[in-house]
Every structure is written in C-alpha cells, then in structure tokens.
C-alpha cells in the first residue's frame, strides 16, 4: 500500500478509536442500564423507587390488596419461545379476565395496585412478570416488540386452560405498547377484546428524548446510539415504529387514561394517538394532575369508576352483537 493510503487508514482508525468508539461504548453502557437485565436483583420483586413516597404508597397499597385476596390466588407459568414466564392468577369465579401489563423495571407486585377496579367489575386478574423481570426468564426488555407474543400466550392460558370467555388488557407506560402490539397483531384471537392504556407514548424515541431534556442532556449522540443497540439486539426500531403507527390499525375497544401533566407521554401526542385510532369504541379520559404512570394514586375513585364504566359499555355492546348474530 502506498504511503498516502497508509496515512488515510491511520487517520480513519484514529477517528474511530478517539472519536466514535468512546460514544459507542457509552451508548452500550446506557443501553445496558435502561434495557438489559444485568443481574437477577435488577428489576426484581421490590419497589423500584423505594425513596419516592408516592411510588412507595402505590406499592404498599398493592401489597395490601394482594393480602386481602390471597385466598383467590395461585401461581401460574407459561413457556413463550425459549422463556419460562411466571405470573399469579386471582380467580374470583368470573368468566372473563384482565392481564395487567406493567412497564419497564416493574414486577407483578407492582401490578397489584391496578387490579381492584377489575375485580370490582367482575373480572379475574392475571398479574405477570414480563420477560427479563421478576422471576421470569430473559435479559433484554424490547419494549413490547417481542413481549406481545408473551401476552398472546398468556391470553391462551386464560382462555383455553382457565376457562375465561374473554380477556382484556391493562397497560401502563411500556405495557401500553405491549398491549397495543398484541391487539393489532394478525394473530390476535377474537377473545382478546380490548385494552385500557395509562400513559401511552407516541414512540419510545420521543419518551427517551423527554428524559434527556429533563436532565438537560443532548439526545445526540448517546440517545441515538442507545436506540441503535435496541434495534440491533431487540429488533425494535423505535424511530419509525411504535404506538403512533400501530394504533392506526386498532379496531378493538380502547380506553386511554392520561394526565395533563405527563412529562414523558406528552398530552398533545396522546390526543393525536387517540384521534388516529379507527376503533368505533374508544374513549380518552383526561386527569388534570398526576405524574407518568401515577394517575390512580392521585384520584383512585375516578380512575376506578372510569374503568368500570368503560367495561360496562363494552360488555353491553358485546352482548348486543352476540344477540344480533342469533336473530
């Protein structure tokens, strides 16, 4: 090789080592922090933010709910792909069930907090450790892009084995994305009948950008490198795919619960999501106060009432449709 060629290669190598490589390493560290379970203690069955008084109160209320209905509970598990996934099933003697899908970092203990309105409405309750959380297998959180297959398998357990006629989904934050991906999947069965979504975001890229802005940090380049690793290892393109795209084919009943103060799933994007949903049975409920994923703790009475009202309307319409088919 000629001397000029060697010089060019040395310059390119130096640019990579001293320019790009450090950012690739820092991006990998951030990706591992956000979306990779690096030990069994990470995303385990403890309160994820124990020093936050409001969050701790949510967790404690959920634990008390579990103790109250412990006699109705039994452990369940499924095999989803190569993963063993675990959950807890509360059998209240009903013919329909809800799956509560928590967001990143949370185990099934967190999901107890959201179960009461469904029990009161006549639903059995399934809480689950998402893959890479709690006692379930897995290492990578893929933001619903792969977890939706797990929800299809959990739904089959509820319907085929545990005798529930219908299954409803309740998603919180990333759990909204998982639920939406499930209900818009070509493989979604008829017995999966709808969802409630608290804090649905437009895309994870937008939500991540808001987190960077909150810390006065630039999204470029670390944020984009993190999303590159997410695409590379989890198959999730969070720049061009997400709830804003999937919701355009959502035909099943949808209840959106959203705060006017949500700093990450910003209200104007939530309204745009709702407007682009073609479902004939949809409702958006705005709460004036409440942080991201913290609506129920601010106004439990209204939160529960809105869910019960939506389920009542949905069930009445379903009964009417069944009656029409038999005329």
- Residues 99-129: pLDDT tens digits? 999 999 999 999 999 999 999 999 999 999 9
Sheet strands (E) in the chain:
73-80, 83-90, 96-101, 124-128, 166-172, 192-198, 254-259, 282-287
Six token digits for residue 42: 């990470």
Q: Which helix (H) or strand (E) holds 292?
A: none
Q: Which residue has the higher pLDDT, 216 or 323?
A: 216
Average pLDDT over residues 5-31: 58
Confidence (pLDDT) at 320:
54
Cis amide prior to 297 (ω within 30 degrees) = no
Band the pLDDT of 327: cuts 50, 70, 90: very low
Q: Is the confidence at residue 312, as pLDDT, over 70?
A: yes
According to DSSP, the residues that pair with 127 across neighbouring strands are 88, 100
Per-residue 3-state assignment (H helix, E strand, C coil) for 108-152: HHHHHHHCHHHHHCCCEEEEECCCCCCCCCCCECCCCCCHHHHHH
pLDDT in tens, 143-189: 999 999 999 999 999 999 999 999 999 999 999 999 999 999 999 99
Q: For residues 258 and 218, give the distance between their C-alpha atoms in angstroms, rounded to a whole number.
A: 27
Query: Is this model's pTM higher than 0.75 or not?
Result: yes
CA–CA distances in Å: residue 38 to residues 31, 129, 152, 322: 11, 16, 26, 49
CATH number for the segment(s) 51-202+242-325:
3.40.50.1820
| Residue (of 163, 162, 196, 154) closest to 281 by Cα position | 196
Q: What share of the chain is helix, strand, coil (3-state, %, to 5)?
A: 50, 15, 35
pLDDT in tens, 198-225: 999 999 999 999 988 988 888 888 888 8
- Do residues 38 and 32 lie in contact, with contact meaning Cβ atoms separated by under 8 Å? yes
Q: Is the confidence at residue 326, as pLDDT, over 60?
A: no
DSSP helix/strand/coil, 91? coil
Residue recorded with tokens 């063993």: 84
Confidence (pLDDT) at 7:
35
Six token digits for residue 290: 């409440």
Band the pLDDT of 229: cuts 50, 70, 90: confident
Instruction: Round the average pLDDT of the chain to a whole number and report it.
Output: 90
Q: For residues 145 and 164, give the distance between their C-alpha atoms in angstroms, rounded to a whole number.
A: 26
- 2-11, 45-54, 274-283: which range is least confident on average? 2-11
Domain ranges (residues) in the chain:
51-202+242-325
């Amino acid at each position: 090789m000629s001397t000029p060629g060697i010089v060019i290669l040395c310059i390119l190598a130096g640019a990579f080592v001293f320019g790009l490589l450090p950012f690739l390493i820092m991006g990998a560290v951030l990706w591992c922090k956000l979306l990779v379970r690096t030990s069994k203690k990470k995303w385990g069955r403890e309160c994820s933010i124990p020093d936050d008084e409001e969050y701790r109160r949510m967790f404690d209320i959920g634990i008390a709910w579990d103790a109250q209905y412990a006699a109705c509970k039994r452990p369940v598990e499924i095999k989803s792909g190569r993963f063993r996934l675990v959950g807890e099933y509360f059998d209240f003697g009903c013919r329909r069930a809800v799956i509560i899908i928590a967001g990143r970092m949370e185990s099934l203990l967190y999901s107890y907090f959201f179960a009461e309105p469904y029990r009161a409405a006549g639903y059995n309750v399934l809480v689950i450790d998402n893959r890479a959380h709690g006692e379930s297998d897995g290492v990578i959180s893929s933001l619903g892009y792969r977890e939706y297959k797990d929800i299809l398998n959990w739904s089959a357990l509820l319907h085929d084995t545990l005798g529930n006629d219908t299954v409803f989904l309740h998603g919180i934050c990333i759990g909204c994305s998982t639920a939406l991906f499930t209900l818009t999947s070509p493989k979604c069965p008829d017995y999966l009948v709808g969802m409630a979504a608290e804090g649905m975001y437009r895309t994870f890229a937008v939500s991540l950008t808001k987190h960077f802005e909150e810390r006065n940090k630039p999204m470029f380049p670390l944020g984009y490198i993190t999303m590159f690793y997410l695409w590379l290892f989890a198959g999730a393109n969070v720049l061009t795919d997400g709830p804003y795209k999937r919701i355009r084919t959502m035909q099943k009943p949808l209840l959106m619960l959203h705060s006017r103060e949500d700093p990450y799933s910003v209200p104007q994007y939530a309204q745009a999501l709702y407007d682009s949903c073609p479902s004939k049975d949809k409702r958006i409920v705005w709460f004036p106060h409440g942080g991201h994923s913290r609506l129920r703790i601010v106004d439990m009475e209204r939160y529960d009432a809105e869910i019960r009202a939506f389920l009542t309307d949905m069930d009445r319409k379903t009964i009417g449709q069944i009656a029409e088919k038999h005329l």
